[in-house]
Amino acid sequence: MAEAWIRGKPAPLDDAIAEAANIVAGSRQPVIAGLGTDVAGARAAIKLARLVGGVVDHMHSDALLRDLGVMREAGMMVTMPTEAHVRADFLLLVGPGLIEAWQALPERLFAKRRIVWLCPDTAAGSAGAYENVTVVGDTPAELPAIVALLRARCVGRPVANPPIALATIDALVAELKRARFGVAVWSAARHDSLTIEMLCGLVNDLNAGTRFSGLPLASADNAAAVQQVAGWMTGYPLRTGFGRGVPEHDPWRFEASRLVDSGEADCAVWISAYGAWPPTWKRDVPLVALTGNPNTIRTHVTITVGRPGLDHDSVEHLAATGTLAAASARHPEAAASVASVLEKIITKLPAARPC
């Protein structure tokens, strides 16, 4: 099977790498996006961006920035999934998308504790599938109001026209306050940042009397790890650009889809090693894709890459521990890693700077 294609035709890997380097080096504003990759791939992508004055963005930056936005604007109490596993006596599941974000959530956290799920997914197979889960709230649309009500009643404020019975809210508030170590679980993929801020405010208020903490679930495609790499290598989260020689961060200006669709970016490197998710932009732009499945995206250069931790050794964010952990390949050498391909592209760039 071919590993690389140039304009849809199978090509030797070295030719594809040389062509990719040409495209990136000739670009005035490249974006390096997707970033579904392991830590080594993220390091190489940021190194490439620094060398060519590019922009880095992750396909799940919206969700990442919603949680980070609350940290940057207000305050957040969090805990680790392992600590929730051993200590939580009360689990407040908040809104939809939780099992989708972490399939092992029921197995890791549902046993031996009281669980209330606010406004779970309406789809069958969600909260109803678990015997010990009490549901409060019917649809995700009610969630912002319910979280706000809980926070208001937690500090004893009066409320008007609650969408659900006030007695239900007050009973839940009493339970939250009785918890010895409660944990609120949410997925930023399915909330707006104001709901997350309200929820984190509730958790903070509960700590006036007891212990309560938050557990934001990580986004897919190793987004949490890639954000950490960006943090240490640049000092900023994703949506950071190197166009002026130093890293600059701006969630609007450096959004990959906006850059491509507005014509500001004239080249893109799209990285999706966990699956062949296509880019979200609409405009055609010279595209180099590093992906697990070459047939889904129209590109100038496509190079297939392996799945981290399966086809090559990796370091990735682990949902069960909330930390970066090393994994050994199950099928080593089956396919190239994002890092190895990007490093080869970097060596083909003219006048590479040390970094």
In the set 236, 258, 296, 348, which binds other proteins (CB under 8 A)?
236
Q: Which two tokens stand for residue 146?
A: 């319910």
223-253: b (≥16 Cβ within 10 Å) or e? bbbbbbbbeebbebbbbbbbbeeebbbebee
Q: Are 35 and 226 in contact (CB under 8 A)?
A: yes
Task: List the interface residues with other proteins, window 87-126 (CB under 8 A).
Answer: 87, 108
In the set 323, 330, 347, 352, which binds other proteins (CB under 8 A)?
323
In the set 25, 53, 82, 319, which binds other proteins (CB under 8 A)?
82
x/- contact string, 39-58, with other proteins (CB under 8 A)? xx--x---------------
Show contacts of 278-282: CB within 8 Å, 24+ apart: 279/33, 279/34, 280/59, 280/256, 281/256, 281/257
Q: CB of residue 103 vs other proteins: minimum separation in angstroms?
A: 15
Q: Does 68 bind other proteins (CB under 8 A)?
A: yes
Q: Are 191 and 217 in contact (CB under 8 A)?
A: no
Task: List the interface residues with other proteins, window 184-213 (CB under 8 A).
Answer: 207, 210-211, 213
Q: Does 349 bind other proteins (CB under 8 A)?
A: no
Q: Are 349 and 51 in contact (CB under 8 A)?
A: yes
Give 25 or 80: the residue with its C-beta nearer to other proteins.
80
In the set 168, 228, 296, 340, which binds other proteins (CB under 8 A)?
228
Q: Does 250 bind other proteins (CB under 8 A)?
A: yes
Q: CB of residue 279 vs other proteins: minimum separation in angstroms?
A: 24
Using left for φ > 0, alpha for ψ between -120 and 50, and beta otherwise, residue 35 falls in left
Residue with tokens 């490197």: 269
d(CA 204, CA 211): 9
Q: Does 352 bind other proteins (CB under 8 A)?
A: no
| Residue 181: φ, ψ to 5° | -145, 90
In the set 227, 272, 302, 304, which binds other proteins (CB under 8 A)?
227
What single DSSP character describes residue 319? Answer: T
Residue with tokens 């889960």: 133
Q: Does 354 bind other proteins (CB under 8 A)?
A: yes
Q: Does 167 bind other proteins (CB under 8 A)?
A: no
The footprint of other proteins on this chain (CB under 8 A) covers a number of residues equal to 54
Q: Which two tokens stand for residue 340?
A: 């190895």
Task: List the interface residues with other proteins, window 10-29 (CB under 8 A).
Answer: none
Q: CB of residue 55 vs other proteins: minimum separation in angstroms?
A: 14
Stretch that binds other proteins, among 20-28, 95-103, 283-291, 312-320 (CB under 8 A): 312-320
How do strand 301-304 and strand 287-291 relate by DSSP bridges? parallel
Q: Does 71 bind other proteins (CB under 8 A)?
A: yes
Q: Are 48 and 338 in contact (CB under 8 A)?
A: no
Q: DSSP letters along 103-157, please?
A: TTHHHHHSTTSEEEEES--SSTTSGGG-TTEEEE-SSGGGHHHHHHHHHHHHTT-
Q: Does 86 bind other proteins (CB under 8 A)?
A: yes
Stretch that binds other proteins, among 113-121, 122-130, 134-142, 228-236 (CB under 8 A): 228-236
Q: Does 320 bind other proteins (CB under 8 A)?
A: yes
Q: Does 154 bind other proteins (CB under 8 A)?
A: no
Binding stretches for other proteins (CB under 8 A): 39-40, 43, 68, 71-80, 82-83, 85-87, 108, 180-181, 207, 210-211, 213, 227-228, 231-237, 244, 246-251, 313, 315, 318, 320-321, 323-326, 339, 354-355
